[in-house]
A and B are shown apart, each in its own frame.
Chain A
Amino acid sequence: MSSQTSQLDGESLQVTRCRQGDGDALAELRERCQNSLLGILLSRGADRTEAEDLLADLWADCVPGQDDRPSILEKFSGKCTLQGWLATVATNRWVDRKRKQSRYVDPGRDGNKENDYLNRLEAASYASEDTLIALLRECLKAAFALCAPEARVLLRLVYLHELSQREIVQMLGWSESKVSRFLSKAMEEIERHTLAEVKKRDAWLELNWQDFVELCETHQIGFM
């Protein structure tokens, strides 16, 4: 049994206990993950107060029965690490909160209660569990759109449909080194354009390429 499989099995037991409202399991989970989640949120651009507030809410939502709601851990599929999943949920909430704040316009002294209400309503309607998915998707799509059609097609053939680079060589009549260089350059461009697009959309969000890919992977396999 690999160490990762055994880690996932151990976490699965802990998650089951947490979902049932086991206080010791919830405390253990918090003890184990609080500092690393705090570090992740700080590295992604949150300030300490924002990060601590978010995590306090996150731990509260792990407890079943709050406002008659099940624990948010019910949504954890068990196919990725629990810490990675919690980091994704926390990042989604933080992005959502920052966007709400940036869209909320303080009506000030001259503002009236009706405008205040409308501003809050608009901000609330913008909030969604899918905020982060939409951001990741739109940034990736924008990056792919900047590639040449040849690059998009070859990347799909090699990395989605698993053709070998040798097969691409035979199809195109290119040298192996040309195919390899072409694919590497396309991947580098996607990385650069994707991260530039993140900055353009949410300048306060600090994501490196590893973070971006991990968030995509967790969304793909980590949620029920």
Chain B
Amino acid sequence: MAERLQILLKFLERFDDEVQGRELSEPGEDTKIKLQRFARGTLTDEEQTEIFILLDRHPDWTAWLAKEVKQLRAGQ
């Protein structure tokens, strides 16, 4: 099931005309701090809800967040 979802997400990444040609943006400094706190698991439930909405509007920022989590993983 996991492999199937990976295929579908990669298909959307490749063929979504809204994604194609869109420049990858970096989150602002305030957002970066929130995402770092999210990565460390220190956001409140309300802050988590806000950040989910924000990440949903800016899907490219999930890559930034994932990188942050992986850096934490590497440091452990």
**Residues of A at under 8 Å CB distance from B?**
133, 136-137, 140-141, 144, 149-150, 152-153, 155-163, 167, 170-173, 184, 187, 190, 209, 213, 216-217, 219-220
Tell me what chain B mostly uses at the interface: helix, strand, loop, or mixed: helix
Could you say which residues of chain B place their CB within 8 Å of the CB of A219?
A: 11, 15
Contact B7 A141 (CB under 8 A): no
Contact A137 B12 (CB under 8 A): yes
Could you say which residues of chain B place their CB within 8 Å of the CB of A133?
A: 15
Residues of B within 8 A of A (CB-CB), count: 34
* Contacts A150-B52, A161-B62, A161-B63 given; does A155 touch B69 at CB 8 Å: no
Could you say which residues of chain A place their CB within 8 Å of the CB of B62?
A: 153, 156-157, 160-161
Could you say which residues of chain B place their CB within 8 Å of the CB of A153?
A: 52, 55-56, 62
Could you say which residues of chain A place their CB within 8 Å of the CB of B48?
A: 172
Contact B7 A187 (CB under 8 A): no
CA distance A171 to B39 in the complex (A): 6
Could you say which residues of chain B place their CB within 8 Å of the CB of A140?
A: 8, 11-12
CA distance A172 to B42 in the complex (A): 8
Could you say which residues of chain A place their CB within 8 Å of the CB of B5?
A: 155, 159, 187, 190
Min C-beta distance of B65 to chain A, whole Å? 7
